[in-house]
Amino acid sequence: MTTSQPQLSVQPSRGATLSWSDGPAIRDAVAVVRYRVGDQPRTLRIPEPERSCEQDGLQARWRWELSGNGYRLWVELANIGDAPLFLETADVLTAPAPDLGAPIPTWRVYQNGWQSWSPTFARHLEGSIYAEPGTPEYRAAHQPHWEPDYDGLISSEWVSVLYTPASSRPVAGLLGGFITTKDQLAEIRLRADGSEWTARCHLDTALLAPGASLRTELLYLTAGPDPLKLLEEWAEMVGREMEARIPAAPPTGWCTWYYFYGENTADDVLDNLTAIATYRLPLDVILLDDGYQTAIGDWFSIHTDKFPDGMEPVAQAIRDAGHKLGIWTAPFGAAATSQLFAAHPDWVVRDEHSEPVLGWVHWGVPCYALDTTHPEVLAWLEETFGRMRREWGVTFFKIDFIFAAARPGRRHDPAATRAQALRRGVEAIRRAIGDDAFLLGCGAPLGPCIGLVDGMRIGTDVDPNWHPIFRYDLSAASTENALRNSITRAPFHNHLWANDPDCLLVRQRGPDLDLVLNEMRSLTAVIALLGGLTLNSDHLAIIRPGRLKYLRQALPPTGVSARPLDLFTHELPRLLLLPVERPWGRWWVAGVINWEDHTVETTVSLSDLGIPPGLYHVYNYWRRRYLGVTDDAVTIRRHQPHETVVLLFKPVSERPDLLTTTFHVCQGAVEVTDCAWDESVGTVRVTLSKAGRQFGEVLFSVPAPWEVAEVRVDGERHPWAVVAPGIISVGLTLDERSEVTLFARYRGEE
């Protein structure tokens, strides 16, 4: 469906109206700038696009530009007076809630959290899972624009999509999103009573000196019938505007954190390095997480009881084994107990009482926020990270808790916003590590990092438990929370960066892991389907070897994300779909999630998945079960608690064909490099290529009147098994590369 072009009209006394004839309407919109002259708060209202307004020497112009099926908006500000001005906020657009053709309680609102761990989902305005702990700690970490009248306000960082399935109009989706994100933190605000819908840039009382000027971030407004597509198109636009860094392939690796939790020694790292080699696991990066340093900020002060010979011997062993060394830091903090803070107390952000601003509390120790507008701090960052690159050979850098640089407070540069302060710090790190190193953001306000980081954690810590300890905290560490955010931010992958869903844990349930088999399989399936970074964090030196099959089945990442089809239907999306198309065919891999704590019956139709009408083979990946042929729907009779059923849909062919393989959750998307049918001799030749050594199956469909004559693996005759009429399975050990050939006879007219 093609959405109509937007129509803009202006009533000077009331503001601008933007509407789509078959969809939403925004009425009585204006721009508003809030600022201070000395201690006096002032407000400048701009009611008309392209009109210049002036007050107290502040000149403001509200700019509108037609772009595709929407408009780009921004506000230009200049101090043409003699006195300094202090800018607080600029509402690039504020209006009553838009008209979507249905009552507000029926709406879904895409609510994007501020930083990596902040809750994100398409929130229902009635019956929502949303809960707000309301503690000062929660507000500091996740609600950077909190204000006393926050009740009833839905704030989404940088982008929001409004959608209602109850609309009387063909087009029921409206997107408001900032497509530049360098200079200001920005939010889209909706009041549930309908009184306000605002796109606000935060200028953080930044100084605008006489003669100076600036521009707000660019806001994009558009409408469409498919809210998920609107979000995907927004991410694509932002990536272009911000020159996003998209790696050729998402990294794989092993991380120390989720088994050792900072208590690992050098020997533990070396033991896992040996296990990776022994099991031939295709893991590239060895990431040394938190715990090697004596204090946050003292990155070269190494715990001698854990690393008695320092970092260099471990780093050398990792490189000698053919791996990349990864290192964790929290670069924008200085622990109260650190040498860094003792030597440079003037390097931290200060509050209005000149006290150090708390960045976060790290294992009980206060960590103060570094002032990343201070030239000496930036020089120290460049020296620190440059030294890690030169002396340790680090090529993978995970920077954590970086929201600290965006804490409110007084900085060396009074003209800098919080977003600019954060970005300057990340820019310094990027300069130091070079363009060829991988930079992973974590605990990160998302917008200012685009174009600087290669990867981004987009959810909370995965944790060894399915549910968080406190169920009402959607930001708390848990597998459920981590997967929800990873799914609801799936549209960002390969547009803004490579998504990092956090670590994959496959070890058996025990004292250090409380995930049952279905929960572990769900973690594996979702990470594999989302196609981003894939890092394991088990103690591989002692793991039960049989558990490693799950890790192998998620490696390597496809690099392409499945789509959360019901993102705007369910706050916990249940349907992930990965379409796969290759020269030899196409198929679809669906992840069907049961978030409930009890068994349910789930029916999935082809129309639910957007798969074209036709006849399809269906294969249940985890159960290793061929489910037959459907032209309509599949019913999962016993969909167990927290289980993700992975289904393959492959078009039925009249000739012998490859059905699927079991070497990867995505079933042929990475390990099948070629599949050729030779009608003259009746052969299907499948070429498999995958790092490491792994047992699995290749399944073929052999419809009547065809029958199997023989199967060869790497030129040698090989047994096969009939798993259903017309379906055979060939089991083999794939050692880097194999060729499987099915020889078929036609038993038609003889």
- Catalytic residue numbers read 400, 461
d(CA 196, CA 60): 22
Opening angle at CA 88, ends 87 and 91, nearest 5? 105
- Write down the H helix ranges in 279-368: 312-320, 339-343
- Residue 317 has what DSSP assignment? H
Structure tokens at 715: 């030129």
Q: How far apart are CA 750 and CA 748, in angstroms?
A: 6
CA dihedral 309, 314, 317, 322 (to 10 degrees): -160
Residues 6+ apart with CB under 8 A from 697: 624, 661, 662, 729, 730, 731, 732
Q: Are 53 and 64 in contact (CB under 8 A)?
A: no
Contact 577, 609 (CB under 8 A): yes
Distance from C-alpha of 69 to C-alpha of 21, rounded to nearest angstrom: 12
Phi-psi region of 38 (alpha: psi -120 to 50; beta: other; left: phi over 0): left
Cβ neighbours of 715 (radius 10 Å):
8
Concatenated DSSP letters of 86-137: EEEEEEEEEESPPB-SS-GGG-EEEE--SBTTS--EEEESSS--------HH
Fill in the amino acid letter for 227: P
Residue 181, CB-side half-sphere exposure with 13 Å CA sphere: 29
> Alpha-carbon distance 580 to 563, whole Å?
12
Q: What are phi and psi of 217, to 5 degrees?
A: -65, 160
Nearest CA among 479, 478, 483, 477 for reference residue 499: 483
Q: CB atoms < 10 A from the CB of 359, how many? A: 28
Can you read off the two tokens belonging to residue 43?
A: 């407000």
Enter the tokens of residue 91: 């509402």
C-alpha distances (whole Å) from 512 to each of 286, 539, 728 are 21, 11, 40
